A and B are shown apart, each in its own frame.
Chain A
Amino acid sequence: MELETDILVIGGGSAGSMAAIVAKEQNPDIDVTIIEKAEINRSGSIALGMDALNIVVQPGITTPELYMNSARIATEGILDYKPSYVMAERSYSILKRLEGWGIRFPRDEENKYISLQVHAKGSFLLEMDSPDLKLVLAEKVKEAGVRVINRTIVTKLLVNNEQVIGAMGFNIRTGKVIVCKAKATILANGGCARFSLPNSGYLYGTFDYPGNAGDGYSLAYRAGAQLTGFEFTQCSPLIKDINCPLLYITLTRGAEVVNALGETIDLEYVSTQNMLKELREGKGPIFIKMNHLPEERIQDIERILFTTERPIQKKFWENRGVDFREGLIELGETEYQLCGGHGLTGIVVNEKAETTLKGLYAAGDVACVPLQHLTGAFVFGEVAAEEAVKFVNNNDLGEVDQNLIKDEEQRLLNVMDNNKSGSISVKDFEYKVRRTISDYAIPPKNEIKLKRFLWWLPRFRDDMKDIQVTDHHELSRYEEIQFILDSAELSVHASLAREESRWGWFHHRTDYPEKDDGNWLKHVVLEKGLKSGEVQTLLVDIENGGEH
């Protein structure tokens, strides 16, 4: 199937849905298409809603400048000023937009929004009551008249003269190839949740939605865009084994974290790094303790945890016979991930959501606006749409080289043909890839260890010929393994390049254990070498030195 559109949005989660809605708001005559790997009513990282909007600057209470102070501390200086400032500046209008759509933000007895402090300076996190947030977004997409193509994985961006002119992929049930030419393309398909192996050993037991396999990182890299922050491999202390979140909901309501010695852990601004340190130092297991909280507080916590984001927790605790009124909640380290929302990783974007490639915008977890959370996904969904609308007014559809399309179709057909009777299941293959990421690509890091991964990398790519692929669902998993390998390759190169330790444990090099602001207050930027086709690393100054 071939189609033409004005704006193609890849990924219909929080950022992508917002981008599509806003593009149609800006100009209803513009043709907008979303390609979604799952189904838009319940897709992306907020399929079952979210309990908070993490960054909201409320006029008269906090300021974008105060947020920037907090963000600089939280990112240890690896932060360009303008994109994060724009996010903070526009966050209140996002809140108002969501309220207008019926999303409830609880207020206290003085009619003020209930906010919680999880940043060093200022109380920016606003409670949000929205198990149905994604259904609401999908409804707005539908009302706006956006074309939605579900169950379709994008495998290639179409590029002509360093300009992105669309994308192609296939339906993961039928295998039908879809080629979509577009005047502007917005990448909004998430981070890489399937990076290292969860401690449970279960491939899909990840904290973030495991449909996000680094698709966007790989697509952007292969198309020639710049990426950054891949050395900051990040994890969290969450519910052991199931890796579901509960930290902010419990800790901002009076819960404490204690270690095996019964000591209460100092949690300055809910520092996850402090908790992880206790585990590394052998003071674990660590637990969340709530038995000192009043009954109504416990009920409030249960209401949120058991209805929103990961309601499966209710079943998990029932099965384990744990009641928050008495029992302790054991925390464990999640797998490591790459993410622009929770971390510092992503495609390089400016304050206009422009990537380094003409015609390509990026928003949400796939883009590097550090620690942007859901607020960033929504703000940069809006921004990307506004900029893309301007772009399509001045640009026509590009000329697509038909050979590129034929080659990609043939590549997919070849996998279906050649891998029918492969000897390794996609699952076994992914297990070993991610176990090897756990072995060599995550902290503590050193040069020899990181290079061990680079020894494995070509072997994995070569061995992919032995993966058994019997249907298009498995073909999509095969493609995702390539995305995971690309993400790991980028991460290892960035980790090797940054010869210092930064962002606490997450980029800890045992051969360069100190933080070195003199030399390393810089971005490690990655791109594909034009001639070599290999990963090139560049050091780029922080925009405005992180100052306004």
Chain B
Amino acid sequence: MPLIVDEDLCTSCGVCVDRCTMDIIRLNDDGFPYKKYDECWYCGVCEEDCPENALIIDLPFQVK
């Protein structure tokens, strides 16, 4: 269940990393967010607070 990131919109500001309630998001070598740990509660904060609307979360397979 990856984060779906629109790389044209993402400015690598890191708000998603800062706000993630489970602290599982990091920026990769290219500066784009990914889920480093497989512990998402799909709260939606990363998607909601992204200032560029560059990010969409998918539900974990087990619950979707």
Please report A residues at the B interface, Cβ cutoff 8 Å: 38-39, 41-43, 47-48, 151, 172-173, 200-206, 209-211, 241-243, 310-312, 315-316, 319, 427, 473, 477
Whether A316 lies near B64 (C-beta < 8 A) is yes
Q: List 26 A-B contacts (CB under 8 A).
A: A38-B20, A38-B22, A39-B20, A41-B19, A41-B49, A42-B49, A47-B21, A151-B23, A202-B60, A202-B62, A203-B39, A204-B22, A204-B40, A204-B41, A205-B60, A209-B21, A209-B41, A209-B43, A210-B39, A211-B21, A211-B41, A241-B63, A310-B44, A311-B48, A316-B59, A473-B37
Q: How distant is B32 from chain A, measured CB to nearest CB, in Å? A: 19
Partner of A205 from B45, B57, B62 at Cβ < 8 Å: B62
Whether A38 lies near B23 (C-beta < 8 A) is yes
Known: A47-B21, A209-B21, A210-B22. A201 touches B45 (CB 8 A): no
Complex contacts, B22 vs chain A, CB 8 Å: 38, 204, 210-211
Measured between alpha carbons, how far is A310 from B23 in the docked complex, in Å?
Answer: 18
Give the contacts of B9-64 with A (CB-CB under 8 A).
18-23, 36-45, 48-49, 57, 59-60, 62-64
- In this complex, how many residues of chain B approach chain A with their Cβ under 8 Å: the count is 24
Whether A42 lies near B38 (C-beta < 8 A) is no
Measured between alpha carbons, how far is A269 from B52 in the docked complex, in Å?
Answer: 43
Complex contacts, A473 vs chain B, CB 8 Å: 23, 36-37
Q: How distant is B53 from chain A, measured CB to nearest CB, in Å? A: 14
Apart from A41-B19, A47-B45, list 15 A-B contacts with CB within 8 A: A39-B21, A151-B23, A173-B23, A203-B39, A205-B62, A210-B22, A211-B21, A211-B41, A311-B44, A312-B57, A316-B59, A316-B63, A319-B59, A427-B38, A473-B37
Partner of A39 from B19, B43, B60 at Cβ < 8 Å: B19
CB nearest neighbor in A for B37: A473
Q: Pick the 3 closest A-B CB pairs, nearest first.
A: A202-B62, A42-B45, A312-B42
Whether B21 lies near A43 (C-beta < 8 A) is yes
Q: How distant is B56 from chain A, measured CB to nearest CB, in Å? A: 9
Measured between alpha carbons, how far is A204 from B38 in the docked complex, in Å?
Answer: 9
Measured between alpha carbons, how far is A58 from B64 in the docked complex, in Å?
Answer: 41
Known: A42-B49, A204-B22, A427-B38. A47 touches B60 (CB 8 A): no
Complex contacts, A42 vs chain B, CB 8 Å: 19, 21, 43, 45, 49
Complex contacts, A173 vs chain B, CB 8 Å: 23
Measured between alpha carbons, how far is A243 from B64 in the docked complex, in Å?
Answer: 11
Measured between alpha carbons, how far is A201 from B18 in the docked complex, in Å?
Answer: 28
Whether A48 lies near B48 (C-beta < 8 A) is yes
Known: A203-B39, A311-B44. A319 touches B21 (CB 8 A): no
Q: How distant is A113 from chain B, measured CB to nearest CB, in Å? A: 27
Complex contacts, B42 vs chain A, CB 8 Å: 242, 312
Whether A312 lies near B43 (C-beta < 8 A) is yes
CB nearest neighbor in B for A132: B48
Q: How distant is B19 from chain A, measured CB to nearest CB, in Å? A: 5
Complex contacts, A204 vs chain B, CB 8 Å: 22, 39-41, 60
Known: A39-B18, A43-B21. A200 touches B45 (CB 8 A): no
Complex contacts, A315 vs chain B, CB 8 Å: 59
Complex contacts, B38 vs chain A, CB 8 Å: 427
Whether B41 lies near A210 (C-beta < 8 A) is yes
CB nearest neighbor in A for B24: A473
Measured between alpha carbons, how far is A68 from B5 in the docked complex, in Å?
Answer: 50
CB nearest neighbor in B for A319: B64
Complex contacts, B37 vs chain A, CB 8 Å: 473
CB nearest neighbor in A for B40: A204
Q: How distant is B60 from chain A, measured CB to nearest CB, in Å? A: 6
Q: How distant is B62 from chain A, measured CB to nearest CB, in Å? A: 4
Complex contacts, B20 vs chain A, CB 8 Å: 38-39
Whether B63 lies near A242 (C-beta < 8 A) is yes
Whether B43 lies near A48 (C-beta < 8 A) is yes
Partner of B21 from A38, A201, A202, A203 at Cβ < 8 Å: A38
Complex contacts, A172 vs chain B, CB 8 Å: 23
CB nearest neighbor in B for A193: B41
Complex contacts, B39 vs chain A, CB 8 Å: 203-204, 210, 477
Complex contacts, B62 vs chain A, CB 8 Å: 200-202, 205, 241
Determine which residue in B42, B48, B63 has the highest number of CB atoms from chain A within 10 A of its CB, and name it. Answer: B63
Complex contacts, A209 vs chain B, CB 8 Å: 21, 41, 43
Determine which residue in B21, B36, B37 has the highest number of CB atoms from chain A within 10 A of its CB, and name it. Answer: B21
Complex contacts, B45 vs chain A, CB 8 Å: 42, 47-48
Measured between alpha carbons, how far is A203 from B38 in the docked complex, in Å?
Answer: 10
Complex contacts, A242 vs chain B, CB 8 Å: 42, 59, 63-64
Complex contacts, A310 vs chain B, CB 8 Å: 43-44
